[in-house]
Structure 1
Amino acid sequence: MFQINLWRRVLIWLLCLTGVALALPNAFYTRVEQHNDAIVAIEQGADTPENQRLAELWPNWLPSDLVNLGLDLRGGAHLLAEVQVRDVYESRMEAMWPEIRDTLRPLRDTVGTIRLQKSPPGTLHVRIGDAEGMNRAVAAVKDLARPIQTLTGAGSTDITVRGQGDMLIVTLSDAEKQASDDRTVRQALEIVRRRIDEVGTREPTIQRQGSDRILIQVPGIGSAAELKEIIGTTAQLTFNPVVGRGTDANSNPGLGNKILPSIDENGVYYTIESAPVVTGEELVDAQPSFDQNGRPAVSFRFNTSGARKFGNYTAENIGSPFAIVLDDEVISAPVIQSHIPGGSGIITGNFTVEESTNLAVLLRAGALPAGLDFLEERTIGPELGQDSIDAGKIATLVAFVAVLVFMVLSYGLFGVFANVALILNVAMIFGLLSLIGATLTLPGIAGIVLTVGMAVDANVLVFERIREELKSARGPVRAIELGYERALSAILDANITTFITAVILFTMGSGPVRGFAVTLGLGILTSVFTAIFVTRLMIVMWFERRRPKTIEV
């Protein structure tokens, strides 16, 4: 229909104005970015005069969401890390030894003595004194097996137990190894994300690649080395019983024990039990604080399970030293003076304030379940990012001007209407990108440039159809009506198929491909809207005002 109801006109213009308003902050990017950072700092308690001044750089009543600039535009660091999933097998077996030992102790009359033997990684060898009691021992340890809670491991248990002479051999099952690998990578992914979020970087890209790799891209960070410092520390905190203390790092610690250096005492080594009483995984909070002497420290708090184990151990071992171990180094080994209920305590050492703060961040984010091997690392300087932005601006501007000139030369006044709609289209793309918090990459700019060329395609189909209708001696009103009606199906078909392609690219792709897909998909939506509704509304409003007897397209 040639007539457009008032409420439709208001809605169309309202959507256009909303898109322009959402896109406006990107025209003052640095100012709005400083305003947003100052607002966040004030909310976190840093209400300084400088932050107040920066917060006033942009009116609070205007939108302040920005399009996030990707790694290739802002500069930053790129890492590809491989998770050492096999590290988890050994720690799992070490952690099971106390449980197996406690299970076999009541059976000593049947199985005889119980001795842990040197075992290959991921395997536990236990020698029993009486080989005739092996079946009883195997059955008892099998009762410790737990079912695997995954679809692929349904019906399987996490360990396999067998006897070989007087040797009891416990290993992780294949199904458990597969589930453990997936679980380890997922946990590492989440912890890396939490650690980077704690630092406050903008829009990092952290995603899984393949079965055991993690892609990490953080815009705005100084270097890949700085990023590795944030995520590369495993921060594995454990609380272990102390067996002895000495100065020889090469002495025999005994089976089930290990020798670790002391951070505070040069040349001092502690022999500790390998199986910890409590681990950092059972921490629920860690905060920087100060000890009774005013030195920087870290206070911590366990969850219910950790608090119970911590309390029981301290109650049963008053007067014994207790090692606090961080990444295979003994931070401190205080003597347990009394029962410590409640599951809270404090870690002291020769920390600076910055070190205690960083340690609290790492502990609060959680321990990496396995080490990371960095296969690829790149640092992209901000100058390269600025060059990319400048090149993108030039490409967009050239394409934009070329399309504007072509439309005016080809379709006259109707081409002007299409150009106004094209400008609104680009503004709405940036408005939508800002609204959803999308990250703009260099391929994303390519998507916008492509959208600029495609945006007028719908108008070209309509205008050419109007020309055909005018040649058949129809009046201007009827020609415009038929032009839009008969071109609509071709417009929808072409854009729907392209939109499906964009969805597939976003779903199946990663990194730059997804950035291209996002801008292409949003550009299709806005270009269809501006071509079918905005351009038509401008033509109708012009026609109602001028009432021409004939029109030229």
Structure 2
Amino acid sequence: MLYFSRWKTVLIWAVVLAGVILALPNLFTQDQLVKLPDWLPKKQLALGLDLEGGSRLRLQVDKDHLPDTDATIAILTRRLSELGYTNRIVDGQRNGRVLVEVPGLYDSQLLKDILSLTGELHFQMVDDSVPVQQAIDGTPPEGDEIVYSFDDPPVPYLVKKEPLVSNKNFVDAQAGIDTATQEPVITFRLDSIGADRFSKATKANVGKSFAIVLDNQVLSAPVISEEIPGNTGQISGNFDLSGASNLALVMRAGALPASVTVLEERTIGTDLGAASVASGKIAALIGAALVIAFMLLTYGLLGVIANIALVVNVILILAVLTLFGAPLTLAGVAGIVLTIGMAVDSNVLIYERIREDRRAGFSVTQAIDSGFSRALATIVDANVTTLIAALVLFTLGSGPVHGFALTVTIGIVTTLFTTFTLTRWLVSIWVQRARPKEVPGALLKLVPDDTRIPFMKLRFLTLGFSALSSIAAIVLFAIIGMNFGIDFKGGTMVEIQSHEGAIDLDDVYSRLEDLNIGDIKIEPFKSDNRALITVGSQGEGEDAEQTVGVKIRGELQDDFDFRRIDVIGPSVSSELSQAGMLAVGLSLAVIFVYVWLRFEWHFALGAILATIHDVLLLLGMFIVFRMEFNLWSIAALLAIVGYSLNDTVVIYDRVRENLRRYGNSMSLPALLDASINQTLSRTILTSVATFLALIVLYIYGGDDVKSFALILAVGIVVATYSSIFVAGPLLMLFGLRGRDVTNKGPSAVSGQSGA
């Protein structure tokens, strides 16, 4: 295990060097990168909207026109280009969904106005042969239809169905101000066919009116005073300069082949994104520093090697994200910080094995070789269970859930690489050159070498407590229920900041109450000049939810800046809640199958029940403290599912190993006690390292991240408890015997303590 051929050494360092080169551009500014040689990579890490600022909209194409989704995406893309947004994403999804992301844009209302406007513009002759009211009361003449104006109240018009000109005839359109009337107008240019038809129609209908109809509503109905020859003209109507600019843009880009509805909006101001970047860097650096210091104190020189591997691990994560252009989100930063804490687990498993074998009488070289060999199966099992949860989260999640799962998934892969190649290579070089006589000692020892705690004697107490706690959580869920955020129940959330001075919350509430937008909650947010407004779901469809945001903007925009706006419609909130439940259930099911295949049904059932116990206790915490349950909460729960199973699998792996060694010669309670004691050092050390990283994330993260870190921190405590006091006793409850597992899994040499 400690021998490396030359080609393996070259390959390992080639990967490390490639990672450094790919990640290196992130340390430079754009101006500095321009000055570097052209042959050097210059691609930088893309930032998600929550770090860069911008808007994300989820649109739904009319379900009767789903085949037109590809064409709709093309028109939406052209409209964004007309707005000047080249660095945008317009991505078609299932069932006619379209995801639009525009980095750096803060005015999401403008974006929605431009993208949601169908843009069907027609010039239609007004039919004055029949009074409009008569047509409304009876039947419009053949070839005619009734359309209404944008006015309040709307004015009806009887118009010819056959348009004089339509979107396909417009070559260009520009907004401006009429010099005579000082009113906003749109100057348009027609193609030859449109110009010919319009000229003939105006010549034949002097003294009559034609209606300018946008999306089946009349903008204006000017009287034709004379023939309008040529291919240019002018539109005036019920719009301001901004509205004229928007309409002109839509005319240039073309009408949508199908109407679209805004289902979800998430907008973050650029200043808020910059603040998140700064806090994320601080959290990552301090978290890494604490974990590095902890490893040095715990393992000495071996800790130095582990820390080198940890730094390379983070570099490789950043390199992979940079290479594939995957954006780093705030949730992704949280995933990296969590990976920093959990990445030490593999090294802890190996190092504890090395110490154990050294105490058993192995030479230093033999102990190191054996430590790497015997930890392999345990590390693979532990990381695969976490990987399963992360992949399910990545597949079914969206928003912050997706970003978190992405970095955790990449982190698991890079951790396995650094552990079994780079760490092992560095240790082998140290052994060859230093020829040590002893394994490096530790300045900090949290767990004695040979603990003999009788855990199984406490099993009735611990299982009883866990059972009652789990039942209590279920009862509380049935009686009180969860405090679901707008992610899962729909609604609107707006963060505002006053232009000057503290916010008068009562005044804001009074102004919003007059808007008749339903249940309103206003609370101070971080400082006295900022507040968070939450409005419950309107229960009247997607458009009703979007109207709330428009009304709040209209009422408060003169006095406040909008730092963040989230609007979640009922269809998206329903899908998010279903996907969240499916993610938790599916991850548990797949992990159950994996553990069953690797161990036995006793282990699989014990691991899943212990994990369900952890999830129930965390849900109980949400209910008791009325914590908001949102997408971040789902990410935290699935992270704990992976962590808890990781913890439990390590102990179960040692149980299986001891069963092979002792069979039925040792009583099951004694065997379980020995296994838990032997892995106790690893369990405590990994939990402490991860906890340190999460403390920093809690202190320096934003509000969503802070809540996420708190859930994870509590979850780690619960998971550590369950892996020791629940998972082991459950094996006794299921009647585990040595003969059940002697033929499962690879053979291994047992030890006395460590991991």
User: Per the shorter chain, which TM-score range?
Assistant: 0.5 to 0.7
Q: CA deviation at 1:378?
A: 5.9
Residue identity in the other structure for 1:407: M
In the other structure, the counterpart of 2:85 is: 200
Q: In the aligned structure 1, how far is the partner of 2:434 from the partner of 2:23?
A: 33
String of CA shifts for 1:413-456, please: whole Å, max 9, x gaps: 11111101111111111111111111222211111111101111
Find the residue that maps to 2:41 and give its secondary structure: coil
Q: In the aligned structure 2, how far is the partner of 1:548 from the partner of 1:301?
A: 86
Asked whether the equivalents of residues 67 and 439 of structure 1 are also in contact (C-alpha less than 8 Å), the reply is: yes
Which of 424, 430, 441 pairs up with 2:318?
Answer: 430
In the other structure, the counterpart of 1:543 is: 431
Residue identity in the other structure for 1:21: I
Find the residue that maps to 1:456 and give its secondary structure: helix
String of CA shifts for 1:192-229, please: whole Å, max 9, x gaps: 455335532645586769x7876655331122223234
Structure-2 change in CA distance of 1:193 and 1:459 (3 Å): farther
In the other structure, the counterpart of 1:67 is: 45
Structure 1 vs Structure 2 CA RMSD: 4.6
Unaligned 5+ segments in structure 2 are: 176-184, 442-755
In the other structure, the counterpart of 1:273 is: 160
Q: CA deviation at 1:59?
A: 4.9
Q: CA deviation at 1:376?
A: 6.5
* In the alignment, structure 1 residue 524 sits paired with structure 2 residue 412: yes
Q: In the aligned structure 2, how far is the partner of 1:425 from the partner of 1:300?
A: 60
Q: In the aligned structure 2, how far is the partner of 1:224 from the partner of 1:520?
A: 31
Which of 351, 354, 376 pairs up with 1:488?
Answer: 376
String of CA shifts for 1:356-397, please: whole Å, max 9, x gaps: 996675346542355556577565323322332233223222
Residue identity in the other structure for 1:200: Y
* In the alignment, structure 1 residue 26 sits paired with structure 2 residue 26: yes
Asked whether the equivalents of residues 25 and 63 of structure 1 are also in contact (C-alpha less than 8 Å), the reply is: yes
Q: CA deviation at 1:314?
A: 9.2
Between 1 and 2, higher relative CO (CA 8 Å, sep ≥ 6) is seen in 1
* In the alignment, structure 1 residue 383 sits paired with structure 2 residue 267: no
Q: In the aligned structure 2, how far is the partner of 1:22 from the partner of 1:245?
A: 71
Structure-2 change in CA distance of 1:278 and 1:298 (3 Å): closer
Structure-2 change in CA distance of 1:337 and 1:360 (3 Å): closer
Q: CA deviation at 1:477?
A: 3.3
Find the residue that maps to 1:390 and give its secondary structure: helix
Which of 85, 106, 117 pairs up with 1:222?
Answer: 106
Which of 346, 361, 367 pairs up with 1:479?
Answer: 367
Asked whether the equivalents of residues 297 and 356 of structure 1 are also in contact (C-alpha less than 8 Å), the reply is: no
Q: In the aligned structure 2, how far is the partner of 1:331 from the partner of 1:477?
A: 92
Q: CA deviation at 1:238?
A: 4.1
Structure-2 change in CA distance of 1:324 and 1:21 (3 Å): farther
Structure-2 change in CA distance of 1:197 and 1:470 (3 Å): farther
Asked whether the equivalents of residues 258 and 274 of structure 1 are also in contact (C-alpha less than 8 Å), the reply is: no
Aligned residue runs from structure 1 range 398-417, under 5 A: 398-417=286-305
Q: In the aligned structure 1, how far is the partner of 2:96 from the partner of 2:50?
A: 25
Aligned residue runs from structure 1 range 193-342, under 5 A: 195-196=79-80, 199-200=84-85, 202=87, 204=89, 218-238=102-122, 242=125, 254-255=140-141, 256-258=144-146, 272-276=159-163, 280=167, 326-327=214-215, 328=217, 329=219
Alignment coverage as a number of residue pairs: 411
Q: In the aligned structure 2, how far is the partner of 1:276 from the partner of 1:23?
A: 58
Structure-2 change in CA distance of 1:361 and 1:311 (3 Å): closer
Find the residue that maps to 2:102 and give its secondary structure: strand
Q: Quick check: which one's strand share is greater?
A: 1
Residue identity in the other structure for 1:545: R
Q: In the aligned structure 1, how far is the partner of 2:392 from the partner of 2:69?
A: 26
Unaligned 5+ segments in structure 1 are: 36-53, 86-178, 263-267, 339-344
Structure-2 change in CA distance of 1:183 and 1:205 (3 Å): closer
In the other structure, the counterpart of 2:344 is: 456
Residue identity in the other structure for 1:63: P
Q: In the aligned structure 1, how far is the partner of 2:191 from the partner of 2:23?
A: 45
In the other structure, the counterpart of 1:76 is: 54
Structure-2 change in CA distance of 1:435 and 1:375 (3 Å): closer
* In the alignment, structure 1 residue 503 sits paired with structure 2 residue 391: yes
Aligned residue runs from structure 1 range 5-24, under 5 A: 5-24=5-24
Structure-2 change in CA distance of 1:181 and 1:364 (3 Å): same
Asked whether the equivalents of residues 289 and 299 of structure 1 are also in contact (C-alpha less than 8 Å), the reply is: no
Q: CA deviation at 1:289?
A: 8.9
String of CA shifts for 1:243-265, please: whole Å, max 9, x gaps: 5589x997959442346889xxx
Asked whether the equivalents of residues 65 and 434 of structure 1 are also in contact (C-alpha less than 8 Å), the reply is: yes
Q: CA deviation at 1:71?
A: 2.6
Q: CA deviation at 1:4?
A: 1.2
String of CA shifts for 1:277-330, please: whole Å, max 9, x gaps: 8754x68x956699xxxx99666779xxxx9xx899899989657987554447
Residue identity in the other structure for 1:225: Q
